[in-house]
């Protein structure tokens, strides 16, 4: 098992990596948006000294298109310019 030292650089790298993944998912149209952050209030000195860290994130996935409705209407309004198309 590979262990990494708890440094500010490590936490920054984790935040940047997650943020980059969120941006990629948004660009791919697989997610609406997301954010990631470090909250000092959730990370006590003793927890950090013990190698424990809490990273918060939230995101909005794209909803599945499960119920698409098409409304059809038969109309004669396109005959108003019918003669114009005959040239």
pLDDT tens digits for 41-79? 999 999 999 999 999 999 999 999 999 999 999 999 988
Cα dihedral 57, 62, 64, 69 sign = positive
Domain of residue 18: give its range.
8-86
Is 66 a member of any domain?
yes
Is 29 a member of any domain?
yes
Is 51 a member of any domain?
yes
Chain Cα centroid distance, residue 30 = 7
Number of domains in the chain: 1
Is 59 a member of any domain?
yes
> Is pTM beyond 0.85 here?
no
pLDDT for 86 equals: 84
Is 2 a member of any domain?
no
Is 1 a member of any domain?
no
Is 3 a member of any domain?
no
């Amino acid at each position: 098992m590979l262990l990494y030292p708890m440094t500010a650089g490590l936490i920054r790298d984790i935040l940047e990596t997650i943020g980059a993944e969120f941006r990629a998912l948004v660009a791919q149209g697989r997610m609406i948006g997301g954010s990631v952050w470090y909250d000092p209030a959730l990370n006590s000195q003793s927890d950090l000294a013990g190698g424990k860290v809490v990273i918060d994130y939230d995101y909005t996935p794209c909803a599945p298109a499960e119920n698409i409705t098409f409304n059809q209407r038969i109309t004669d309004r396109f005959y108003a310019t019918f003669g114009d198309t005959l040239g």
